[in-house]
Chains A and B, each alone.
Chain A
Amino acid sequence: MVDVRSGIGEALPPPEVEDVELYHPHSWWTKYVFSQDAKIIAIQYATTAIAIGMVALVLSWLMRLQLGFPGTFDFIDADAYYQFITMHGMIMVIYLLTALFLGGFGNYLIPLMVGARDMVFPYANMLSYWIYLLAVLVLVASFFAPGGPTGAGWTLYPPQAVLSGTPGGKDWGIILMLASLIIFIIGFTMGGLNYVVTVLQGRARGMTLMRLPLTVWGIFTATVMALLAFPALFVACVMMLFDRLLGTSFFMPAIVEMGEQLQHGGGSPILFQHLFWFFGHPEVYIVALPAFGIVSDLISTHARKNIFGYRMMVWAIVIIGGLSFIVWAHHMYVSGMNPYFGFFFATTTLIIAVPTAIKVYNWVLTLWRGNIHLTLPMLFALGFIVTFVNGGLTGLFLGNVVVDVPLSDTMFVVAHFHMVMGVAPIMVIFGAIYHWYPKMTGRMLNEALGQIHFWVTFLGAYLIFFPMHYVGLVGVPRRYYELGEMAFVQDSVHSLNAFISVMALIVGAAQIVFLFNLAWSVRHGRDAGGNPWRATTLEWQTPETPPAHGNWGKELPVVYRWAYDYSVPGAAEDFIPQNQPTPGLVTHEASS
């Protein structure tokens, strides 16, 4: 099907992709606010996501204050505690991680990395951001609504989510939460269509799928998964909204509340759990796959070595994406399901460990004998590998039904998922920001502040979540506002809880250093030049830094090689950009 030949002495093939007509902004408003430029939209997405993420960070502080020093703070009562938990979880998973990886990095990197001028549907892309912002505002509004935000837990399980015992259940909290999720999903779908179609149709000449950087593979696969998984959450939210507002009984069983028989009857809470986790488990990988992709590129660039097993990495991404749709019920082992189902889902869960382990080995083998530069992106990438392996191993424990049943609903689970899908992806986000910030602004982030940020965050996160595994193993339940006097809770648990809380405060405070660095370096950072990391991928080869509207000046780039030509023997430099033809080098013919 495809010929690959040397670049010299041959006329260029006609463009496979027609040059798109770009929308040209006429005013400051259409250039920087209602912008249709994916790079501006990316920064809008990222700023909003980080802002709401800071709210979630403060909520986690408040939770930890209660857990570490119970009874000390009057303003944290049980209701408030549940509201903090719920909003912390929901914001971090959906409004921060999903929005930042796909809306932020997806928008910035996809057009640049595949060599396109912009996303294929720029108008829908702009709408996507504004709808996302609306979703965030609706979510924030629930903090100020009567009764406060919902306290149903981020999983929003009915029937408790819509009952009066749960904060926000009979007030505005749950309604605003569900509405916000529905709006988010509509906005995401608009963006997601863009990301997928841009990768499919917008690639520059010569950019075959197997020449895509792994970052694009990760974001692309995650977007496809999100497009298929979010409808499950959408359906679940609409049905629960019907139950809450219109008195239907999709999920609500016959129930007595405050001595009163409710109108509902016959509904199935388990049905909600199926729908929720049908979305919820792929969601883990929607966050993880972009992180996998980005970290592969960071490691390869900063170890000056090609990625080990590129093909295997691509296959693993696709296989993980596929498998993650048939493991959802491992979140429901304790829901009383048929043991054969449990067996099936435990098996599929453990199978996912195979492609994931391949990826980890390949990262390590890429580092092996690489010329490792301990730059900030590299430090965060290494931090990611360590935390991810750690969280992944406890995942193997929890994937087994017999181990999961006693550990379910303990702090062990909390420690596990924070390691694997909290700290690990956040490490990648930080690494990616340190890596691509020079392209976005033309300036480097401050190195010393970055070192402080990394070491406090990395070691601190370990000191938070490592002891938490132990707390969970001795049986401390999660979601409890207060432990009180329980025979099985040793004194060590209380002192550990206090320790964890102090560490959480410190790690949270370290993020202020990071935010300061982001703001300060825009004006005062060291000048970065066009390609400070001497990287091969297309985004570093733009004629201007930061890239102008349309990205590529007059002519679209032409791609001659894969994304990982680092330290090629005989080459003049230790990297060869993807758009650099090599005179006289003839390679094999790969026609079918």
Chain B
Amino acid sequence: MSVAVIFLALVAAIIVWWLAQQRLASRPWLEVGHVYDRRSGAPLPAAKIGLGVFLGVVGALFSLAISAYFMRMASSDWGSLPLPALLWVNTAVLAVGSITLHLAKMETKRRNDEATRTALLAALATGLAFLVGQLFAWRELTAAGYLLAGNPANSFFYLLTGMHGLHIVGGLVALGRLTLRAWGGPLDRRMRLTVELCAIYWHFMLFVWLVLFALFSGWASDVVDFCRQLLT
């Protein structure tokens, strides 16, 4: 469970950092009157905070699944799974999608609606391409005889890539709706915010995918072994 505990420690650090700014040591019973909150700049939009909290939940989900991966890995029946080369291509496609959405966000800042629309469409295409690529990777593995129930390594591979894929599907639904609206007329403030939120979500899912990829390729366990050696 160490991965999950480390993730929680990270979340706890963020919470403590935030709480530290909330004057938890004040004496509310003495402070009657107006409160002026002199925070610099405008408050964050609720949707952005909401996404942040949601990514915390998704992070907890994946860190717990990864914890389970490491615990299950310790038993003797753990086999290995040859990673299809296609996964490298998929990784690149997902990264391109992430970059494209970042560009879309930059274009909204410049109020360049035309370029934003093009970038959104391109990101949508890369997202779909990633999903199709993942399905082909699954097909390649099943054709080679690496079935879901064959070995715990296979089970975890399909489970984790499936979970990640479903999150991408959810992101694509949001991105698809946004793209439709963006092509329907000029971008308003809400749409520009949604572009930014999609970009954040895509970066996060790219990060999760890189962690999972490192896990499947065995680098992550090498790192863990190295850390264990350092500790003992």
Contact of A267 among B31, B60, B72, B148 (CB under 8 A): B72
Assuming A208-B28, A310-B29, A311-B25, is B155 touching A250 (CB within 8 A)? yes
Contact of B1 among A246, A274, A588, A590 (CB under 8 A): A274
Assuming A267-B72, A310-B28, A311-B24, is B57 touching A228 (CB within 8 A)? yes
| Apart from A192-B57, A311-B28, 10 more pairs, CB < 8 Å | A6-B32, A6-B33, A200-B49, A228-B57, A235-B64, A268-B75, A271-B72, A586-B33, A588-B31, A590-B23
B65 in the interface (beta carbon within 8 A): yes
Contact of B149 among A247, A311, A559 (CB under 8 A): A247
Instruction: Report the stretch among B14-22, B194-202, B213-221 that lies at the interface.
Output: B14-22
Instruction: Report the stretch among B3-11, B93-101, B111-119, B120-128 that lies at the interface.
Output: B3-11
Whole-angstrom CA separation of A16 from B25 in the bound complex? 22
With a cutoff of 8 Å between Cβ atoms, the chain B residues found around residue A13 in the complex are: 34, 36-37
In the complex, the answer to whether B57 meets A189 with C-beta atoms within 8 Å is yes
A1's nearest neighbour on chain B, judged by CB, is B38
With a cutoff of 8 Å between Cβ atoms, the chain B residues found around residue A201 in the complex are: 43-44, 46, 49
A478 in the interface (beta carbon within 8 A): no
In the complex, the answer to whether A232 meets B75 with C-beta atoms within 8 Å is no
Contact of A206 among B22, B35, B78 (CB under 8 A): B35
A560 in the interface (beta carbon within 8 A): yes
With a cutoff of 8 Å between Cβ atoms, the chain A residues found around residue B71 in the complex are: 268, 271, 274
Interface flags, A1-15, vs B, CB<8A=1, else 0: 111111100101100
Task: Indicate the size class of the contact surface on chain B.
Answer: 35 or more
What are 10 pairs between A and B in contact, CB < 8 Å? A3-B36, A4-B32, A13-B34, A189-B54, A192-B57, A200-B46, A210-B28, A235-B65, A562-B31, A588-B31
With a cutoff of 8 Å between Cβ atoms, the chain A residues found around residue B25 in the complex are: 311
A275 in the interface (beta carbon within 8 A): yes
Interface flags, A549-582, vs B, CB<8A=1, else 0: 0000000001111101100000000000000011
B36's nearest neighbour on chain A, judged by CB, is A3
A325's nearest neighbour on chain B, judged by CB, is B8
In the complex, the answer to whether B61 meets A231 with C-beta atoms within 8 Å is yes
In the complex, the answer to whether B24 meets A242 with C-beta atoms within 8 Å is no
Whole-angstrom CA separation of A304 from B36 in the bound complex? 29
Assuming A17-B43, A266-B76, is B24 touching A314 (CB within 8 A)? yes
Assuming A311-B25, A586-B33, is B68 touching A239 (CB within 8 A)? yes
With a cutoff of 8 Å between Cβ atoms, the chain A residues found around residue B229 in the complex are: none
B75's nearest neighbour on chain A, judged by CB, is A266
A326 in the interface (beta carbon within 8 A): yes
In the complex, the answer to whether B53 meets A231 with C-beta atoms within 8 Å is no
With a cutoff of 8 Å between Cβ atoms, the chain B residues found around residue A265 in the complex are: 77
Whole-angstrom CA separation of A250 from B35 in the bound complex? 54
**A562 to chain B: closest CB distance in Å?**
4
Assuming A248-B149, A274-B1, is B23 touching A210 (CB within 8 A)? yes
Task: Indicate the size class of the contact surface on chain A.
Answer: 35 or more
Whole-angstrom CA separation of A291 from B8 in the bound complex? 24
B27 in the interface (beta carbon within 8 A): yes
A470 in the interface (beta carbon within 8 A): no
Whole-angstrom CA separation of A248 from B147 in the bound complex? 10
Whole-angstrom CA separation of A517 from B23 in the bound complex? 44
Contact of B30 among A5, A268, A588 (CB under 8 A): A588
Assuming A227-B56, A249-B149, is B46 touching A10 (CB within 8 A)? no
Assuming A242-B155, A274-B71, A311-B27, is B35 touching A208 (CB within 8 A)? yes
In the complex, the answer to whether B26 meets A197 with C-beta atoms within 8 Å is no
With a cutoff of 8 Å between Cβ atoms, the chain B residues found around residue A247 in the complex are: 148-149
With a cutoff of 8 Å between Cβ atoms, the chain A residues found around residue B15 in the complex are: 224
B159 in the interface (beta carbon within 8 A): yes
A372 in the interface (beta carbon within 8 A): no
In the complex, the answer to whether B36 meets A278 with C-beta atoms within 8 Å is no
Whole-angstrom CA separation of A238 from B36 in the bound complex? 48
A209 in the interface (beta carbon within 8 A): yes
**B1 to chain A: closest CB distance in Å?**
6
In the complex, the answer to whether B53 meets A193 with C-beta atoms within 8 Å is yes
With a cutoff of 8 Å between Cβ atoms, the chain A residues found around residue B46 in the complex are: 120-121, 197, 200-202
B152 in the interface (beta carbon within 8 A): yes
Interface flags, A289-319, vs B, CB<8A=1, else 0: 0000000000000000010001100110010
Assuming A1-B37, A1-B38, A271-B72, is B64 touching A232 (CB within 8 A)? yes
Contact of B37 among A2, A120, A235 (CB under 8 A): A2
A10's nearest neighbour on chain B, judged by CB, is B34
With a cutoff of 8 Å between Cβ atoms, the chain B residues found around residue A271 in the complex are: 68, 71-72
Whole-angstrom CA separation of A17 from B35 in the bound complex? 14
Contact of A120 among B19, B22, B26, B50 (CB under 8 A): B50
Contact of A12 among B19, B34, B49, B67 (CB under 8 A): B34
In the complex, the answer to whether B61 meets A234 with C-beta atoms within 8 Å is yes
A211 in the interface (beta carbon within 8 A): yes
With a cutoff of 8 Å between Cβ atoms, the chain B residues found around residue A47 in the complex are: none
Contact of A306 among B29, B43, B155 (CB under 8 A): B29
Whole-angstrom CA separation of A238 from B57 in the bound complex? 16
A256 in the interface (beta carbon within 8 A): no
In the complex, the answer to whether B22 meets A209 with C-beta atoms within 8 Å is yes
